[in-house]
Structure formats: C-alpha cells, structure tokens
Amino acid sequence: MTIVMNEEPRRMVVEAAGAKVGGGHFGIIAGPCTVESREQTLEVARVVADNGAIMFRGGAYKPRTSPHSFQGLGVEGLRLLGEAKEETGLPIVTELLDVRDTEHVSEVADVIQIGARNMQNYPLLTEAGRTGIPVLLKRGLSATLEELLLAAEYVLKEGNPNVILCERGIRTFETAYRFTLDLLAVPALKHMTDLPVIVDPSHAAGRREWVEPMSLAAAAAGADGIIVEVHPDPDAALCDGSQSLELDRFAAYSEKVRQVAEVAGGVASAAL
C-alpha cells in the first residue's frame, strides 16, 4: 500500500517494479537486516506484504564492522530474495557491496542499495548507475548532504535518474544510541534536490523501542518513505537484532506510520 499525498509535480518519482517512492508517494520498505534462511525470509516477506509494505528489504551481502561476523549468504541469499518476490510480489531492495557482484545482484534487485560505508565508493556507484536499476543511496557515516548529493551524481551521470536518498544516522559525539538521526536532512535535501528522500530509523536507533518514535518523526518531517528492519525472532538474528522490530508488531507500526505520513502529506491512501 502506498499513500498518495498532495501533488508535487516537480518532484522525482522513483518507480521500481510497480512501487513508487517520491513525488507524493510515501511507502514503507521492510524486511530483515540479513537474509538468514528460507523460513525467516519468507515469513517476514509475507507479513510485511500483508501489512502495507511497498518493498521487501534484505541483505545477501553484508558490510560488517568485524570480518569475523556473519557476512551474508551471498548468491544463496539472492535466490531466497527472488523466492520472496515470487511469493509476495514485493519488489526487492538489496545491497550491492562489491562491483564483482553486480551481475548477480542485478538479476534479483528491483532497487540496489548502496550502503553508508560505500557512499563514496565511486566505481561502485558508477556500476550501480550503469545497471539502470533504481538505486537507494545511504548517507555515509560522516558525509555532508553536499557529499551525498555528489555521490548521487555518480549514478545520475550514467543516465540512471532513479536515485532514492536515505538518511540513516551520522556519527556525532553522542554515544547513547548507535548514530544521530539527522531528520533535518529531510527538508534540507528536499530543498536541495528533487530526488526522493527516505529515512532508516533502525540503524540510527540501534534499539527497537526507539524505531517507532523516530519513524513517526521522519514521516512528520516529510520523508517519502521509511526503510525498517523486522525479524520474527530478533534476539536470534544474525545481524542487527537489537534494532529489529518484532514481526508481530509490524502491522500496528505500519498503520501508525502511514497515518502520520498522511497527516504530514495531506491526502488519501491508495492500494497498489
């Protein structure tokens, strides 16, 4: 389900396999941090599909701080994402971590995610741009908005206009949470560019109790969407469990966020 807000004719709408983000279309992208197993992936995909998500997220290649942490299922993870799409119809958002994986990732991804750590990996941005597949570009951990927009230019210059910008928290002196969610980036980026701007509250919060309030705040700030981590058993998750919403809470969460988006944006709600 997507919420159609007031007409904003100048704004860019990014469309991925039927799902629209930007230009008045607000949507929730949800799924686990990481594809762990067939059961986990399909279970989350079914629930988020039934409860208003417009796309399914899940990493097959994970950028982990420690080389000893789980790095993702790779090609097998991509195959499971393909299965999730086949079953639910939800477009797939998945990260491209390395130029060498471009071909495999392009076979499954409806949106290629470029992670925060790779925001300034210029050859990777160029490759992602060349695929022609929409790109979800996360803001780097210590990147200014101007640097984010210049990174987006690397994709655009390849003739790929479909870039979604994502604020996911930046590093500041504050240590009480994982990152500082810079919500002022939403109106500021919208002033600086016509590209859609979404918010990832999960990676900033680091704790699931703080994900809903920051999602509501992001929707109120005028974000074009939210990308959020959800897991059926967060305590057993292989990656980012502490910040993952419990699957059985997703329906209520989704409803609330979409209500705020509607209030912030104006008008009606329409099913995809």
Under 8 Å between Cβ of 245 and 253: yes
Under 8 Å between Cβ of 150 and 177: no
Q: Does 231 bind ligand PEP (CB under 6 A)?
A: no
> Of 116, 133, 195, 238, which one interacts with ligand PEP (CB under 6 A)?
116
Nearer to ligand PEP, 35 or 216 (CB): 35
Q: Does 59 bind ligand PEP (CB under 6 A)?
A: yes
Amino acid (one-letter) located at 194: D
| Burial degree of 75 (CB within 10 A; 0-12, 13-18, 19+) | middle
Nearer to Mn ion, 2 or 118 (CB): 118
CA distance 44 to 64: 22
Under 8 Å between Cβ of 185 and 139: yes
Q: Does 29 bind ligand PEP (CB under 6 A)?
A: no
CA distance 172 to 188: 19
> Of 63, 89, 241, 266, which one interacts with ligand PEP (CB under 6 A)?
63
Considering only 5-13, 112-120, 146-154, 209-217, which stretch makes contact with ligand PEP by CB under 6 A?
A: 112-120
**How many Cα atoms are found within 13 Å in the side-chain-facing hemisphere of 134?**
25
**228-247 binders of Mn ion (CB under 5 A):** 240
**31-60 binders of Mn ion (CB under 5 A):** 33
The entry of Mn ion, ligand PEP, none that residue 115 binds, CB within 5 to 8 Å by partner kind: ligand PEP
The entry of ligand PEP, Mn ion, none that residue 178 binds, CB within 5 to 8 Å by partner kind: none
Nearer to Mn ion, 27 or 72 (CB): 72
Q: Does 208 bind ligand PEP (CB under 6 A)?
A: no
Enumerate long-range contacts of 144-148, CB under 8 Å, 24 or more apart. 145/185, 145/188, 145/189, 145/192, 147/119, 147/120, 148/119, 148/189
Considering only 30-38, 168-176, 248-256, 257-265, which stretch makes contact with Mn ion by CB under 5 A?
A: 30-38
Considering only 1-9, 19-27, 104-112, 113-121, which stretch makes contact with ligand PEP by CB under 6 A?
A: 113-121
| Burial degree of 46 (CB within 10 A; 0-12, 13-18, 19+) | middle
Q: Kindly list the residues in this chain that would bind Mn ion in the complex (CB under 5 A).
A: 33, 240
Binding stretches for ligand PEP (CB under 6 A): 33, 59, 63, 115-117, 138, 168, 200, 203
